[in-house]
Amino acid sequence: MARANLNKDPDEVAAMFDGVAKRYDLVNDLLSLGRTRAWRKATTAIIAPAPGMKILDLAAGTGSSSAPLAAAGADVIPTDFSQGMLTAGRARHPHLPFTHADALDLPFEPNRFDVVTISFGLRNTADCDKALAQALRVTKPGGRIVIAEFSHPTWRPFRTIYMNYLMKALPVIARKTSSNPDAYIYLAESIQSWPTQQELADRMARAGWSQVGWQNLTGGVVAVHIGSKP
């Protein structure tokens, strides 16, 4: 696996997630010190799923982000380009229509979804701008995009501590808990390389999204970006 210079080979990234799929959610909880569920809950609240709402969940992995949307009555399609993740997701949530799809070339017609969402997956795409454009294409006019992604803590002392944790403590934990620790070292480096909150908002606007903003969670460790389709 190449280091996280954001020039990601899709086959390598898919293979990486195939290798960690079975224990992905457990290890994520450990690596985030138990905050993953709170972040997903906050993201679900921002999406505000309702009966009849059509939602596309990109990079849905094992379905942790999709299940609460479906439980609220929304018509959600979880997608991923990792077959390992899809297999694990179907085993955990057999009632959800898991679909193989690449965020850079979505197999859906234009103007189909009320909401397109992606949680902790946008930074793993080979072309973030193309993924944002594809999401815009399949969203209905007036519909929204909701992106939950690791970001940059806003308080400098905390940011220093957090980045040190990512590159020092996280690999140690991953080696003890994951069957593929190199994958988590890659993920840590991809977080460091990711744009700031404002930089991502600017890229969303350039892709055609309007009314772009974000909400910081845990002091900016995660940011939930929101945009609307004109």
Q: What is the pLDDT of residues 95-142, one digit of tens each?
A: 999 999 999 999 999 999 999 999 999 998 999 999 999 999 999 999
Residues constituting the chain: 230
The pLDDT of residue 1 is 38
Query: What was the pLDDT predicted at 226?
Result: 98
Low-confidence spans in the chain with pLDDT less than 70? 1-33, 178-179
Q: Which domains does the chain have, with CATH numbers?
A: 10-228 (3.40.50.150)
Q: Which of 147, 91, 80, 89 is nearest to 116 (CA)?
A: 147
State residue 5's pLDDT score. Answer: 42
State the DSSP string of 67-111. HHHHHTT-EEEEEES-HHHHHHHHHH-TTS--EE-BTTB--S-TT
pLDDT of residue 145: 98
pTM for the model stands at: 0.88
State residue 188's pLDDT score.
77
Task: Note the pLDDT of residue 34.
Answer: 76
